[in-house]
Structure 1
């Protein structure tokens, strides 16, 4: 290796570490700027912008053939806090860093307009949460991922309970209890068993279990992993997600699009692709059962979403349903399924964060939380409701939005697997999503004759909120027109994972 190549790799290793360290340094700077809101928010925006540039530079290195790896500390022989760059992690890091920047912009408009207390604490824990997400994204093994996975739970708990009232505390207890219990009872035990059976926890293309480990044991382990990754909100361990809706809207956006739930489905994809491997997954009896459990989560959450009048709760159950799509795609364990799950992780993030941004904009400007109150709202807030409509199309999977591509590959994966009942369930769920999402903008723009007088005055939310909405909804359209970069990085997961 030449001196220039060695220097390049050292630079890359430093940049991986900075993706974790930089947000943590920002938490200290934010604390020192407590009495100066403009400086505090400038620190948050600058740090998030720098993180975007760092992750993009790592992506560019990867496309040029440089795969980076580093170790912080070896806890036990063969068990270390280690980081690396690979396609799935890079995709997750790019998505999370960019949406942190967008959400930081949104938070400025929302938190100031709502006169929220504890804004410095909010921005601090926001930065800590993103640092843990970067640790999850670049984790080279299950041990490293588990450490940052749990830190993510702990760092987002103060954000969930930000309101400080009894309702917030109750939601926070449910959030913490379900996520920690699933990790301790299932996830940690599965990791320990994997260490004993495979002798390694490193993420490896094609999986780490050799033929000496029986498929029966591997099948039980897979069950423990899927139940243990509680952030993926698989039924029946999904109640933490609706409970967390007591948090401010920027936190809801963080939970649903940037950090927690995406950390969950990302972990599911990593485990299925790099711990078990697609070839082994197709041989496990539990794969089929879990596949139908994921489909049941998709269907049942859609049913519940249709009954919710509270907008944030409807969106929360919609998220549970959409996460089921990613888990289903991962469990299909074929090329199209892995491609669908990887792409949907990103595409859903932009669509769902737009919907939550719009919900927050409505609350800030009108104080309305319930869908039944939003009749004729499209005349008051046309930009917000138009963005809600476009993002809804993306979640449903209709053109001209990016959601079409991930749903297309999921359909192909289901057909390749010959799962006709699964095809029916997913089709019904998509029809239900049309009902529970598109009904909202239809009600807003076409109130009907009996709706009463419509307010002629336009009263959109503050500019930072509108900028964030504009950026996120534009991504829903641009990823439909220019899906190739996303497709290529998702396809690289298949190549490195040796998908079948």
Structure 2
């Protein structure tokens, strides 16, 4: 039995992540204090979110309305099983990203470091806001906060490539949210009289049955607008901003791919499908399978493109485009097994993908190499970095005992339960293609003759190597003990 509890405690992690950027700016003249602010804020935010875990796992839903704008349009927050998944990984990984940032930014003597840390912290504030959004309006506000404050991060180098990549990033994400997401919100309000999502009930959703029966095509249009408007999920053809954003520093790429931006996208799609439309409306209007097929196309096409990329960040970018659609296939299939696989892939992908980007950044700081074809023999000089990279690669491929295997197992079961052989083939093809573009990196690093002088290289600073090894080990631990996030999904869906 779900219990809803009104609690102002929900504002604490939001307040912590809101104050953090200003604390960073206030301490801008002392780099150690400035960076300490990020560590402290990450720890406090994570610990305050952790206090909700026991209640949420017992079936409690915490809510709080900050203020009302119009009837049915409020700024409201909720902590439930789905929101806890995203909020926990965003704040937990923030601390490790900060450690990595210190090594990367100092190691390369990057400019505008205070601005960088400030915008990074605001992006985490946006991610926590998205995670705790109780309605579409609140979700939209924080979704846009992430977009606006990651623009300076993408454009950080302030060169022609940086501004071009950031411009495409902004045009895609702001353009789709204004052209599609805003109209979707308007239609939702007209049809439902509210923007509040259905909390604790993934079956019925927020659209009344009589509205669905009377205006089925209008509800279908609303759904299509949401899918197009949430371009952070990187479904094709709205994916091209993601590879273009790779001009950013590598820690920003990790933020984009693992911590905040794309996770906000697939989280929002999951929230709209399950808490917005609900299983019943999705099923009655036949919305799930077309979404799943679009995700399957994205998975396979992006994997083929990744095979062609020699730049390591470009290969990882297209890998992300592919892997994100695992989440969407899972929630679009609407069966308990598939939904569990899809939602569990949010944290599983986060830990594995941040390890991969941390590894790419460590390689660049230590060697200034970006091309995979030049990395022969590097594993002998950087065994910790490439060892962690190898573990995270196994997760992307879906090999046991790493956590990617668990979510893919549930997804495969979901396709079998629904008899969707095409989707099963897409998942299996993706596994083979993932192996095709990840295994050669590891093989080159340890077993091929060097093409450059690798003897002059060594591991990156410990502030970079320790976080990437830790996140790799977490990926393995989640493979053996997936119960925590599995329980959040179970509670959220009442499975």
8 Å CA contact 2:266, 2:324 repeated in 1 = yes
d(CA) in 2 for partners of 1:452 and 1:62? 54
Q: How does 1:66-77 map to 2 (within 5 A)?
A: 66-77=60-71
8 Å CA contact 1:375, 1:447 repeated in 2 = yes
8 Å CA contact 1:376, 1:454 repeated in 2 = no
TM-score (norm 2): 0.95
Show the counterpart of 1:459: 458
Q: Structure 1 residue 60: deviation in Å? A: 2.7
Q: How does 1:286-325 map to 2 (within 5 A)?
A: 286-325=287-326
8 Å CA contact 1:358, 1:387 repeated in 2 = yes
d(CA) in 2 for partners of 1:370 and 1:173? 25
Any unmatched runs of 5+ in structure 2? none
Show the counterpart of 2:419: 418
Show the counterpart of 1:470: 469
Show the counterpart of 2:147: 153
Show the counterpart of 2:478: 479
SS at the partner of 1:369? Answer: coil
Show the counterpart of 1:80: 74
d(CA) in 2 for partners of 1:126 and 1:303? 32
Q: Which residue, out of 10, 13, 22, partners 2:8?
A: 13
Q: Structure 1 residue 282: deviation in Å? A: 2.0
Q: Structure 1 residue 61: deviation in Å? A: 3.2
SS at the partner of 1:68? Answer: strand
- The 10-residue stretch of structure 1 (65-74 or 483-492) with the greater mean CA deviation from structure 2: 65-74
C-alpha change, 1:322 and 1:453, in structure 2 (3 Å) is closer
d(CA) in 1 for partners of 2:227 and 2:307? 26
Q: Structure 1 residue 66: deviation in Å? A: 4.1
SS at the partner of 2:265? Answer: helix
Show the counterpart of 1:184: 178
Show the counterpart of 1:368: 369
Q: Structure 1 residue 479: deviation in Å? A: 0.4
C-alpha change, 1:257 and 1:453, in structure 2 (3 Å) is closer
d(CA) in 2 for partners of 1:288 and 1:23? 38
Show the counterpart of 2:248: 247
d(CA) in 2 for partners of 1:60 and 1:457? 51
8 Å CA contact 2:376, 2:448 repeated in 1 = yes
Q: Structure 1 residue 284: deviation in Å? A: 2.3
d(CA) in 1 for partners of 2:413 and 2:58? 30
Q: How does 1:430-441 map to 2 (within 5 A)?
A: 430-441=431-442
What is the CA deviation profile of residues 267-297 of structure 1, one whole-angstrom value per residue up to 9, with x for unaligned ones? 0110111111112212223433222111111
Q: How does 1:271-286 map to 2 (within 5 A)?
A: 271-286=272-287
d(CA) in 2 for partners of 1:405 and 1:299? 20
Q: Which residue, out of 105, 116, 126, partners 1:111?
A: 105
Show the counterpart of 2:26: 32
Q: Which residue, out of 115, 121, 124, partners 1:127?
A: 121
d(CA) in 2 for partners of 1:452 and 1:329? 42
8 Å CA contact 1:272, 1:333 repeated in 2 = no
8 Å CA contact 1:73, 1:80 repeated in 2 = yes
Residue 398 of structure 2 is aligned to residue 404 of structure 1: no
d(CA) in 2 for partners of 1:140 and 1:469? 33
What is the CA deviation profile of residues 96-146 of structure 1, one whole-angstrom value per residue up to 9, with x for unaligned ones? 110111101110111000100000111111111111111111111111101
Residue 429 of structure 2 is aligned to residue 428 of structure 1: yes
List, as ranges, runs of 4+ consecutive aligned residues in structure 1 with deviation greater than 4 Å: 451-454
8 Å CA contact 1:220, 1:286 repeated in 2 = no
SS at the partner of 1:250? Answer: helix
Show the counterpart of 1:232: 233
Show the counterpart of 1:169: 163
SS at the partner of 2:51? Answer: helix
Q: Structure 1 residue 24: deviation in Å? A: 2.1
8 Å CA contact 1:379, 1:454 repeated in 2 = no
Q: Structure 1 residue 454: deviation in Å? A: 6.8
Q: Which residue, out of 196, 219, 223, partners 1:202?
A: 196
SS at the partner of 1:308? Answer: coil
Show the counterpart of 1:3: none
Q: How does 1:41-56 map to 2 (within 5 A)?
A: 41-56=35-50
What is the CA deviation profile of residues 423-480 of structure 1, one whole-angstrom value per residue up to 9, with x for unaligned ones? 11221121001010111011101105xx458745661010110111122101111101
Show the counterpart of 2:490: 491
Residue 319 of structure 2 is aligned to residue 337 of structure 1: no
SS at the partner of 2:77? Answer: strand
d(CA) in 2 for partners of 1:233 and 1:326? 12
TM-score (norm 1): 0.94
SS at the partner of 1:25? Answer: helix
8 Å CA contact 1:291, 1:331 repeated in 2 = yes
- The 10-residue stretch of structure 1 (453-462 or 196-205) with the greater mean CA deviation from structure 2: 453-462
8 Å CA contact 1:312, 1:359 repeated in 2 = yes
d(CA) in 1 for partners of 2:267 and 2:58? 24
SS at the partner of 1:73? Answer: strand
